[in-house]
A and B are shown apart, each in its own frame.
Chain A
């Protein structure tokens, strides 16, 4: 396993369209995180999964956003009715469950809403 992979790397969409991103974590990792990063900012937490259970969602995750991790392996993040403010880098990370472990990040999906 070479690390966390995300697909696509880049996505350009028209305002109002739906988009879906995929994340494949490191296979032994139970936890999977989604973050959003805008220019000049650090990653902001959106949500995380422990195996297939979505345990926490940030207030940044509006009702247009939904995330799934159906079998506790890969995850998808869907944005419905995209808005220009959704333009950002969407980062996925995975880690072991224990607190004393670091998260490993994928290369991100850069979303541009035009």
Chain B
């Protein structure tokens, strides 16, 4: 069965610090997709990135970067020079094919609450 673990419940940093949010996943499938979402206080989950299991290239988007390592089943998210507006709960998610009968239903971790202090 698929599983996503976000061991960090809450992280508190001061503005301009770099911060890394950890995500470890479990799957028996060879084809799967990983996602990160941001949930600000307003409540709506905002999609940030999707990565498929065959693409281990790291990705950078502005102050955000993602490190995907199949060898350690991790898909970590780093925010460089954090800002107060980055304060939110961040969720890592996994969807897989065979184990769910081809359904690709996203399974979410418990989330990491990031608090950025001015």
Q: Which residues of A contact B (CB under 8 A)?
A: 33, 35, 40-45, 48, 55-56, 89, 91, 93, 99-108, 110
Contact = CB atoms under 8 A, between A and B. Distances in A.
Contact of B47 (A42, A56, A102): A102
Contacts, number: 61
B47 A104 contact: yes
Given A48-B103, A56-B103, A100-B33, A43 B108 contact: yes
B63 to A, nearest CB: 20
A42 B110 contact: yes
A107 B43 CA distance: 6
B91 A108 contact: no
Contact of B104 (A43, A99, A108): A99
B57 interface: no
19 contacts: A35-B108, A42-B6, A42-B91, A42-B93, A42-B109, A56-B100, A89-B43, A99-B31, A99-B95, A99-B97, A99-B104, A103-B106, A105-B37, A105-B46, A107-B43, A107-B44, A108-B43, A108-B44, A110-B43
